[in-house]
Amino acid sequence: MAYKMYLDGVLMPITPSKVTVKINNQNKTMTLINGEEINILKAAALSDVSFELLLPQVSYPFTNGGAQSASYYISLFERLKNSKEPFQWILNRQRPAGGMFFYTNLTVGMENYELVDDAGAGFDVKVKVSLKQYRAYGTKTVKLKPAPTPAEKPKATVQPAPRPAPSAPKKSTYTVKSGDCLWNIAKKYLGDGSRYNEIYNLNKDKIKNPNLIYPNQVLTLPS
């Protein structure tokens, strides 16, 4: 089975042989006054992802193609660590004969990475990477408008004239290339990878499974 790993849309040069995704919870065990132990079930906690990458300094036939120097990927990790912005971690699982099994797609933050000097790796560099799942959050604000005093008269509002309906926008298309996934296409052409469902909904006549797209498919993109 073939694996391909992407960090923030960048294909890793050699997919690690082992990837650990720890699905955490926030359950709490308590002991009642009668000595009975109970488990209070709570919402799932954030997941942890860890793996070790080999960054080649020389050319190997088993790299994922177009591999950059080790310093290129280390600079990427440093940017992800200091940007204070979440990014997408994607792991594709593909059958040797072609066709996808399924793929993991998590919004994560870079927790830390470790550079490991290992004489057994020769000129290559080993990096241990730890990622933490990210969930968007925010607060809602409410603006209160004071009621008019008895001496005040509410101001009349003027309704603007209706605007003419805009003409239907022209739809654009994209031809799928090897190694593409809907998330990366949405991120590049729509500015937001999470809009991949919009592409899928427009192309259900061509795509039966959003995880399975093939080279030379012509997809319609949202306006």
For 103-126, how does the pLDDT look when each residue is reduced to its tens digit (9 = 90+)?
A: 789 999 999 999 998 888 788 999
Q: Which residues contact 123 (CB under 8 A, 6 or more apart)?
A: 57, 58
Reported pTM: 0.59
pLDDT at residue 96 tops 90: no
For 47-70, how does the pLDDT look when each residue is reduced to its tens digit (9 = 90+)?
A: 999 999 999 988 888 888 777 888
Alpha-carbon dihedral sign for residues 185, 106, 83, 76? negative
State how far the Cα of 38 lies from the Cα of 119, in Å rounded to an integer: 51
Encoding tokens for residue 77? 């990790």
Q: Name the residue among 203, 193, 167, 220 with its Cα closest to residue 90.
A: 193
Q: Name the residue among 74, 82, 63 with its Cα closest to residue 126.
A: 74
Report the SS3 class of residue 79: helix
HSE-up of 4 (CA within 13 Å, CB side)? Answer: 19
DSSP-derived secondary structure letter, 121: G
- The residues pairing with 4 across neighbouring beta strands, listed in sequence order, are 92
Domains identified in the chain and CATH numbers: 1-27+39-135 (2.40.30), 169-223 (3.10.350.10)
For 122-159, how does the pLDDT look when each residue is reduced to its tens digit (9 = 90+)?
A: 889 999 999 999 998 877 777 888 877 776 666 666 67
Alpha-carbon dihedral sign for residues 50, 52, 57, 61? negative
Encoding tokens for residue 118? 């290992």
Q: Are strands 48-55 and 125-133 parallel, antiparallel or unpaired?
A: antiparallel
Question: Would you state the pLDDT for residue 153?
Answer: 62
Query: 104: part of which helix (H) or strand (E)?
Result: strand 100-116
For 157-194, how does the pLDDT look when each residue is reduced to its tens digit (9 = 90+)?
A: 667 767 766 655 566 889 988 888 888 898 888 888 88
Q: For 185, phi and psi rounded to 5 degrees? A: -65, -45
Measured in whole angstroms, how far is the alpha carbon of residue 157 from the centre of its chain?
Answer: 45
Name the percent of the chain lying above pLDDT 70.
90
State how far the Cα of 154 lies from the Cα of 152, in Å rounded to an integer: 6
Q: Are strands 37-40 and 28-31 parallel, antiparallel or unpaired?
A: antiparallel
**pLDDT averaged over every residue in the chain:** 86
